[in-house]
Amino acid sequence: MSDANQPLLRVEDLVVRFPIAGRQYIRPVDGVSFAIAPGEVLSLVGESGSGKSTIGKALVRMVEPAGGTIEVNGQDVTHIRGRRIKDYRENVQMVFQDPFGSLNPVRTVEQHLAFPLRKHRMDKTVNVNAKIDELLEKVGLTPVADTRQKFPHELSGGQRQRVAIARALAVNPKFVVADEPISMLDVSIRAGILKLMNDLRADMNLAFLYITHDLASARYIGNRIMVLYGGKVMETAPSDELLRHPSHPYTRLLLAATPGSRHQGDLPETSNTAPNLVEGRRGCPFASRCPLVTSECHEVEPALTTLGDNHSVACHHPA
């Protein structure tokens, strides 16, 4: 079933809900749809609390969606359980923001990699030792013999994040969710991780969902950018197109606020209230901050509409 035009991953109308006080629910992800092709990087951008990590967790099925579908290679994985989740994780992996928290302090680098290699090994003749060397080589943790015996606390933040990436690669995935993988790293180290992801995409045809709050890195690594606000997609377009012709008022606000944008003066927003995530909300989640707001925006949720050239926006008053 590997038709060249077939996306690797197809997400349709995804909904995640969490219970809150008073028998109510919030929907940090509400009706999100997108597709990712093999070897493609989709950058997911939005402020904290916009639902980025929850989408990532739903994709690797650490969270079960309340609605919608997630298809990988044409296979519906929205509600799979048990043994099928294990099989599924051979195709998708997640790398987290905090490289320290995601590694076990009492295990060596070698042990971190041997475990998934043994657990997911299809072919029992594969030499785990040789495979560990190959993975460490691939993520640039050389000299390999030294690195193998190290514990997480003996590594720098960037090296730890490389171990986390190597561990994700151990199961030979087609798709990796990278959730703010550089935001806790030093500036001089970030470029190396971004470049590593770029190389893996090129060499292994690996696809990524790259989660970030930084438009500059989103554009650098992503073929496309999807802007999220209050659990909904505000705008999506090829990266350069999104930065050159931002259409949604929230995208324009984000862009103006990003260092290097050369924006002068006050920001195009009317307040900085957080979006309402409670189930049953109406209208556009950005309405309370939007300089272009009209009464329609409070009442009717704008649908994601195509502007052409793979560029879509959910706004009653697009630029």
Partner 1 sequence: MVTDPNNPVLQIEDLSVAYVTNDGFVNAVNDINLTLYPGEIVGLVGESGSGKSTMANAIMRLLKGDAIVTKGRVKILGRDVYEMSEKQLRQFRWSKMSMVFQSAMSALNPVMTVETQILDTLTSHDKSMTKAQALERAKELMNLVRIDTKHLKSYPHELSGGMRQRVVIAIAIALNPSFVIMDEPTTALDVVVQRSILNEIRRIQEKVGFAILFVSHDFSLVAELASRVAIMYAGRVVEMTPSNTLSLMASEKHHPYTIGLLEAIPELTADEVIITGIPGNPPNLRTLPSGCAFHPRCPFAEEICTKERPVAVTVGPSDIECHLYSGKGMKQHV
Ligand X SMILES: Nc1ncnc2c1ncn2[C@@H]1O[C@H](COP(=O)(O)OP(=O)(O)O)[C@@H](O)[C@H]1O
Give me the residues that bind Mg ion (CB under 5 A), please.
53
d(CA 19, CA 58): 16
Give whole-number Cα distances, 115 to 118, 135, 160, 173, in Å.
5, 13, 17, 15
Q: Does residue 115 touch ligand X according to CB under 6 A? A: no
Residue 207 and residue 37 in contact, taking contact as beta carbons nearer than 8 Å? yes
Q: Is 50 or 116 the residue whose CB approaches ligand X more closely?
A: 50
Q: Is 171 or 277 the residue whose CB approaches ligand X more closely?
A: 277
d(CA 110, CA 66): 38
> Pick from 2, 48, 125, 273: which binds ligand X (CB under 6 A)?
48
Residues 218-257, one symbol each (x = binds ligand X by CB under 6 A, - = not), give ----------------------------------------
Amino acid letter for position 79: H
> Pick from 13, 87, 186, 309: which binds partner 1 (CB under 8 A)?
186
Q: Is 149 or 270 the residue whose CB approaches partner 1 more closely?
A: 270
Q: Which does 200 bind (CB under 5 to 8 A by kind): ligand X, Mg ion, partner 1, none?
A: none
d(CA 191, CA 57): 25
Q: Does residue 191 touch partner 1 according to CB under 8 A? A: yes
Q: Is 80 or 191 the residue whose CB approaches partner 1 more closely?
A: 191
* Residues of the shown chain interacting with partner 1 in the complex, contacts defined by CB under 8 A: 47-48, 156, 158-159, 186-192, 194-195, 213-217, 219-220, 243, 253-254, 256-262, 265-267, 269, 272, 274
